[in-house]
Structure 1
Amino acid sequence: MPGPDLDEKIETYYVRVRGVVQGVGFRHYTVRRAHELGVRGWVANLDDGSVEVMVQGAANQVDRMLEWLRRGPPHARVTDFFSEERFLDKRFERFEQH
Structure 2
Amino acid sequence: MTGPDLNTRIETYYVRVRGVVQGVGFRHATVRQAHALGITGWVANLDDGSVEAMLQGPANQVDLMLEWLRRGPPAARVTDLAGEERYTDKRFDRFEQH
Do the structures match in fold with TM over 0.5? yes
Matches within 5 A, 1:27-46: 27-46=27-46
Counterparts in 2 of 1:40 and 1:73: CA distance versus 1, 3 Å? same
Q: Secondary structure at the match of 1:83?
A: strand
RMSD: 1.3
Amino acid at match of 1:54: M
Write out per-residue CA displacement over residues 37-76 of structure 1, whole angstroms, 9 at most, x where no aligned residue.
0000000000000000100000110000000000100000
TM-score by length of 1: 0.94
The correspondence of residues 45-56 of structure 1 with structure 2, limited to 5 A, is 45-56=45-56
Q: What percentage of aligned pairs have identical amino acids?
A: 80
Name the amino acid aligned to 1:57: G
Partners of 1:28 and 1:68 in 2: CA distance: 13
Are 1:7 and 2:19 matched, yes or no? no
- Counterparts of 1:59 and 1:4, CA distance in 2: 10
* Aligned positions, number: 96
Distance 2:80 2:69 in 1: 11
Question: What code does the residue aligned with 2:28 have?
Answer: H
CA distance 1:17–1:6, shift in 2 (3 Å) = closer
- 4+ residue runs of structure 1 moved beyond 6 angstroms? none
